[in-house]
Amino acid sequence: MVTTHNLGFPRIGRNRELKFALEKYWKGDISEQALLDIAADLRLQHWRDQSKLDWIPVGDFSLYDHVLDMSFLLGNIPARVSTLSTSSTIDKYFRVARGRSANDIAAQSCVHAGEMTKWFDTNYHYIVPEFERNTKFSLNANHLLEKIQQAQQTHSQVKPVILGPVSYLWLGKSKDSSDKLDLLEDLLSVYAQLLDQLKNAGIQWIQIDEPVLVMELSQEWKYAVRKTYYQLQATPVNLMLTTYFGQLQDNLQLACELPVQGLHLDAVTAHDEIDKVIDWLPGHKILSLGVVNGRNVWKTDLTETLNWLEPVHARLEERLWLAPSCSLLHVPVDLNSEQKIDADIQSWLAFAVQKLNEIEVLAKALKHGRESIAEILLENRVAIASRKQSKRVHHVDIKTRVLEINEAMGVRQSPYHQRSIIQRKQFRLPLFPTTTIGSFPQTQEIRQTRHNFRVGKLPEAEYRQAMRKEIEFCVHEQEALGLDVLVHGEPERNDMVEYFGEQLAGFAFTQFGWVQSYGSRCVKPPIIYGDVSHSQAMTTEWIQYAQSLTSKPMKGMLTGPVTMLNWSFVRDDQSREQTCMQLALAIRDEVLALEKAGIKIIQIDEAAMREGLPLRKSQWNDYLNWAIHAFRITANGVKDETQIHTHMCYSEFNDIMSAIARMDADVITIETSRSDMELLDAFDQFRYPNEIGPGVYDIHSPNIPSVDSIIELMEKASQRIPVERLWVNPDCGLKTRTWEEVKPALCNMIAASRYLARHL
Ligand code: GLN
Ligand code: ZN
């Protein structure tokens, strides 16, 4: 016997039905009921997709975010929303999610949205629960119970998925600096009620997620875990304590000892801990192993998996359950939707639906022997072997080039203080030079033109002409405004990773490979399947053209290797570091091509550098070492007079300051406006040696910053950083704004810069 289950299914739908329904609802085009009907249909579809499993999950679906669902289930709704008298629950729900409900901007009833942050080390973002000293929880399980009833109509074994109390507290934020753990007692009483209600609804197994167990936990938090599960054991329902995204390490013993009936371990990232867990887990407990990777898109090597799984099964017998390593939220829905991926590559892939088939097949092999799936095993072996040997994946010359990388390739000719003298002489920029982060408004017309070209409606020559016109317009606007360092505006780019990936060997793109980023927002990460290289310059023609239109310096714009890596599905047959170094070499070539083409300032964006940090701090150095090395290889092969910029759009630098300094970019532009320049303290204390452009206004908002507000911010900046090393720029790229917003904002920014140059 072996039991199969799933930890969670993608919510968004094969054709992003949920996204489109949400957006229509928010615009007021469909009713609340219509939205709920679409959601219910999706759930039914997803249960059908999972119907071969022994246990199907319920409660993993969400209209926006499962952590926000949990807050509503626990009655933890911020007062600014719970006190709104007019609105329905769903209306309140969207107000916490996004500050407003359907179409009510005009009604002036916006409240500020809940903060959003990354779900562990994934690109999914959740709404941060808010806590205060006197937060009181109260159970509201109706929605969950309804969904359970729905599921029970067609399936006998239904397993609710809930976020565990410790992880729920851990993921939230105290708004009044009180200790979140003080709330545990009250929270546990509500969880106990919840478990009771689920029991009464006929539930036997509950998946209770405690991903916090893969984090470094202090004694207090470990104690909270212990207390929680000792207290909840009174409930007569089976708990499957579920961990994922990493190893348990020093929490392993704790996890094994807790009085629950089952433990789920991510057998991909925590493979080395399986034996220990089997040794330590009391004989009456179920062990669920996440044997299929829920974080990537590759087919599982079934033979190899069975090789290690069969002995495990022999030891555990019916105590073994099989599942994906984590929720399948992080992969696209169904590979069968794809019509255009190359057949070879397609044969190497598995999306959510295919991953569940793999679980099914593995279970069958354990139950009835490998012969029972002989044909499937053979087919799988062929696919795995074809990928291993494929000439499209492996290129000796690229691997050799990576082997030949040496330290010297990542070191500038002269240190910053010497090359800055050369650069100053060459550019003759004023004090407080002004620039932007790269993109300018992506108008409907620009998007339409790109679309027409892509679908073959517009011939290439005409497309190029249209883009040149856009660049020309953008350059003229920047000159008229009086910016000091210009950009071409990025009209030809749909996305900062996809644009480069499409021109590189080793990348594949899907049509429907959408993954939820937050709420209705989805991303379609490229798939890096093979050794990465590029055969021809990717950007020089556009940038050179832009430079030809102006005598001011034109900044060439590239995406860095670490960001390309972190925003893609990457290979599992070599280390991330290897792939990153290949990317670094490819982009290094582009940097050198731009330099050769006469471009004197080159920006290499590393928006996602921080995102790649491992969950455990003890592993940060290892990541930072190779990530920074990759950046240095990309950027630092240029001459002293070429000025390298980098850009990062977040505002937490304290703990990675020395790594940032090691990048040795001449100029770094960062997001700061919302932190009131306080973040520059880190740069100050660290004596960051190079130039900094702290963003002076938030590009996410349509508001036009005043001259005074910018002066004030820059005065604060200049108390921390010497004025000759300060630049003035917005927080990030301007592609989501309109020209009506951009022009006055930049005009004020430039006026502020000129004032500062005269007065400071
Ligand atoms: N150069 C990019 C832009 O301006 C940078 C985007 C980003 O940092 N996310 O759009
Ligand atoms: Zn940015």
Tens of pLDDT, residue by residue over 650-702, are 778 999 999 999 999 999 999 998 788 888 999 999 999 999 999 999 998 88
Please tell me if the CB atom of residue 496 comes closer than 6 angstroms to any atom of ligand 1. yes
pLDDT recorded at residue 652: 86
End-to-end CA distance of the chain: 77
Mean pLDDT of 529-546: 96
Q: From ligand 2's centre to the CA of 605, what distance in Å? A: 8
| Span from the CA of 414 to the centroid of ligand 2 (angstroms) | 28
Counting residues of the chain whose pLDDT is more than 70, the rounded percentage is 99
- Output the CA 733–ligand 2 centroid distance in Å: 6
If you take atom 10 of ligand 1, which residue's CA is the nearest one? 733
Mean pLDDT along residues 751-760 = 95
* Of residues 660, 639, 668, the one with CA closest to residue 411: 639
Q: Is 647 in the pocket of ligand 1 (CB under 6 A)?
A: yes
**Is 70 exceeded by the pLDDT of residue 405?**
yes
Predicted confidence at residue 111, as pLDDT, reads 84
Q: How confident is the model at residue 724 (pLDDT cuts 50, 70, 90)?
A: very high
Closest residue CA from atom 1 of ligand 1: 438
Q: Which residue would you say has higher pLDDT here, 679 or 13?
A: 13
Please work out whether the CB of residue 561 comes within 6 Å of at least one atom of ligand 1: no
pLDDT at 572 > cutoff 50: yes
The residues annotated as belonging to the active site are: 700
Copy the structure tokens of residue 166: 């410790």
CA of 560 relative to ligand 1 center, distance in Å: 11
Radius of gyration of the chain (CA): 27
Reduced to 3 states (helix: H, G, I; strand: E, B; else coil), residue 705 is coil
In sequence order, what are the residues at sequence separation of 6 or more whose Cβ sits closer than 8 angstroms to the Cβ of residue 403?
none
How close is the Cα of 440 to the center of ligand 1, in Å? 10
CB under 8 Å to 76, separation ≥6 — which residues? Answer: 129, 130, 131, 135, 137
Model pLDDT, residue 414: 98
What per-residue confidence (pLDDT) applies to 537? 94
Cβ of 648 less than 6 Å from ligand 1: no
Q: Are 567 and 123 in contact (CB under 8 A)?
A: yes
DSSP strand E in 15-144: where?
A: 56-58, 116-118, 125-127, 130-131
Cα(410)–Cα(635) distance, rounded to whole angstroms?
7
Average of per-residue pLDDT across 224-245: 97
Starting from the CA of residue 671, give the closest ligand. 2
Inter-residue contact 478 to 540 (CB < 8 Å)? no
Q: Which of 123, 523, 601, 647 is the pocket-test mutation for ligand 1 (most atoms within 8 Å of CB)?
A: 647
**Which numbered ligand comes closest to the C-alpha of 555?**
1
Separation CA 424–CA 70 (nearest Å)? 55
**pLDDT of the residue at 103:** 61
The CB of 286 under 6 Å from ligand 1? The reply is no
pLDDT band (50, 70, 90) for residue 106: very low
482 Rama class: left (phi>0) / alpha (psi -120 to 50) / beta = left
Contacts of residue 701, defined as CB under 8 A and 6 or more positions apart, other chains included, come to none
For residue 99, what pLDDT is reported? 87
- Whether 50 has a pLDDT exceeding 50, the answer reads yes
Residue 123 assigned ligand-binding role: yes
Q: Is the CB of 649 under 6 A from ligand 1?
A: yes
For residue 700, report the distance from its CA to the centre of ligand 2, in Å: 10
Annotation-wise, does 599 bind a ligand? no
Q: Is 608 in the pocket of ligand 1 (CB under 6 A)?
A: no
Q: Which residue's CA is minimally distant from atom 5 of ligand 1?
A: 733
Residue 299 pLDDT greater than 60, yes or no:
yes
Share of the chain above pLDDT 90, in %: 94
The atom number, within ligand 1, closest to the CA of 559 reads 1
Give the range among 50-64, 74-88, 290-304, 411-425 with minimum mean pLDDT: 74-88
328 Ramachandran zone, left/alpha/beta (phi>0; psi -120 to 50): alpha
Q: Whose CA is nearest to atom 3 of ligand 1?
A: 733
Measured between alpha carbons, how far is 82 from 194 in angstroms, rounded to an integer? 21
- 611 assigned to a ligand binding site: yes
Calculate mean pLDDT across residues 636-643: 98
- The token duo for 213 is 């167990």
Structure tokens that stand for 593 in this block: 């091509």
C-beta separation of 677 from 702 below 8 A: no
The Cα–Cα gap between 156 and 273 comes to 33
Ligand 1 pocket check for 22: Cβ under 6 Å: no
**640 pLDDT more than 50:** yes
Given a cut of 70, whether residue 706 has pLDDT beyond it is: yes
Give the mean pLDDT of 375-380: 98
| Mean pLDDT of the chain, nearest integer | 96
Question: Considering only CA atoms, which residue is closest to atom 4 of ligand 1?
Answer: 733
